[in-house]
Amino acid sequence: MNYKKIIVDAGNRMLKSGLTVGTWGNISVRNPENGLIYLTPSGMPYDIITEDDVVVMNSAMEVVDGKCKPTIEFCMHIGILNARPDINAVVHTHPIYSQVFACLHEDIPPIIDEAAQLMAGTVKCAEYALPGTEELARNIVNTLGNGYACLMANHGAVCVGADMDSAFIICTVLEMTSQIYYMAKCIGKPVVIPDDKVAYMHEFVSHHYGQGK
């Protein structure tokens, strides 16, 4: 599998999906066979990044391949992947509605079935820390826990998945949930799906929904 191409394609996908603008956000994917981690380079527009620009690092945060500097958030990406053997892709986005709640330091509860099924509960907002710092990485790793998404206070969002497609689905569902939550709060008080129903739906989708399960 060409993991460098996965990073290049994911960067263009994030940009075209409206999940970020300019050079903001960053992406990583892990090869589960050897543990190597492929990351977007720092400060490069996604539409000009080539496979030669992708940076490869190991779990000890050492560069093993690549001529570019890695994203400044490499500590966050590798910290998440080191803490979560069940996931292999991390996508950090700057979507509008998710950022609204990130600026409020407000969590996003499961108010729609899609959020309950895929994110398995409330998406929490991590405490603020400066971009690219080890403090920010720790805050995100601790806040994400065993979940699939978290907000970065005054910054953006982080979504994870077993592979890149799964991570992007989480990105899309988080932004959709954030927009619906915002609109529902403008009208009244959104009703949160009960914890037991969330747990049931997440377990069902994870282990029984679809073909081959």
The residue annotated as part of the active site, out of 33, 51, 62, 73, is: 73
E-state strands within 47-200: 55-57, 63-65, 89-93, 125-126, 149-152, 156-161
Helices 164-187 and 96-104: crossing angle, nearest 10°?
Answer: 70
159 contacts 93 by C-beta, under 8 angstroms: yes
**Integer CA distances (angstroms), 117 to 16, 108, 173, in order:** 25, 14, 10
Enter the DSSP assignment of 62.
Answer: -
Give the strands of the sheet with 156-161, arranged side by side: 63-65, 55-57, 37-39, 26-30, 89-93, 156-161, 149-152, 125-126
Distance CA 157, CA 11 (A): 15
203 catalytic per annotation: no
E-state strands within 15-85: 26-30, 37-39, 55-57, 63-65
Helices 74-83 and 134-144: crossing angle, nearest 10°?
Answer: 30
Catalytic residues: 73
